Amino acid sequence: MYTRAGMERGVASTKCFTAATVALYALALKLGHVRGRVTEAELRERLIELSRLPDVVSQVLGQTGQIQRLVKNYARTDHLLFLGRALAFPAAMEGALKMKEISYIHAEGYAAGEMKHGPIALIDPAFPTIAIATKHALRSKMISNIEQVQARGGSVLAVVTEGDDEITALADQSFAIPDISELLEPIVASIPLQLLAYYVAIHRGCDVDQPRNLAKTVTVE
C-alpha cells in the first residue's frame, strides 16, 4: 500500500505517521465493507469525512502562531509527559517521540489511565504535562488527570476540541483542533504535537532537519 505522501524532507518524519494511519484506516474500511460490517451508507459517510481531513489539518497548520507562543513554556524544561486515553494514546506517543527526536528533551508518552501507577511521582513544577483531552478521547476522565497533575504543582497544556470552554479554563494552556469523527481525531491531534516539537527544537537551537544520531529508515537497517 503506497501512502503517496510525497518526499519526507526531514529525518524525523511526520507524514510517515499521519499518511500510514490514513492508509490503514482506508484498509480497515475496505475490509469492513467486504465482510459486511460496514454498510454502503456508512462507508460513504466515512469516506466523505476522510475527504475533509486535508482541510481540517490545514486549519491546524494555520494556527502555528499559537503554537509558537507556547514554546517558551517548554523549551527550557528537561522532561515532558504526554498523556492520552484510548485512541489518543498513540497520538501522545507520537508527540513524545517527535519531542525526543528533534529537541532532545526527555519526553514520555503514557496511557493516562496508568498515570497513578508511576509517572505521577515525577510531577512537579519543572515537569509539564501535555494532555490530549479531545471530545472522543475519554474527555471526562482526562479532566481528572489534568486536575491530578495540577494538584501536584504541575502545569498542563491540553489539546481540546473547538468550543470546549471547560477544559480550556481548567488547563494552564490549551490548543483547540476542529471537531472531527472519533477515528480521525487522533490524526488531527498529532499535528499540534508535531508542530510543538518542531518549534521547541528551533527555539533550543537544534537542527530539525538532521537530528543527531538519527538516519532515514531507507538508508539504515
Residue 6 pLDDT grade (very low, low, confident, very high; cuts 50, 70, 90): confident
Give the mean pLDDT of the chain.
Answer: 93
Q: Which residue has the higher pLDDT, 220 or 18?
A: 18
Residue 203 has pLDDT above 90, yes or no: yes
Q: Which residue has the higher pLDDT, 70 or 11?
A: 70
Taking only the tens place, the pLDDT of each residue in 170-193 is: 999 999 999 999 999 999 999 999
Q: E-assigned strands of the chain?
A: 79-84, 106-111, 129-132, 156-161, 173-177
Q: Please, which residues bridge with residue 177 across strands?
A: 161
Residue 109 has pLDDT above 60, yes or no: yes
Taking only the tens place, the pLDDT of each residue in 91-105 is: 999 999 999 999 999
In 3D, which of 120, 61, 114, 124 has the Cα closest to residue 89?
114
The domain ranges of the chain are 64-203
Superfamily for domain range 64-203: Glucose-6-phosphate isomerase like protein; domain 1 (3.40.50.10490)
- Report the chain's C-alpha Rg in angstroms: 18
pTM > 0.85: yes or no? yes
- What one-letter code names the amino acid at 36? G
| 91 within 8 A of 130, measured Cβ to Cβ | no
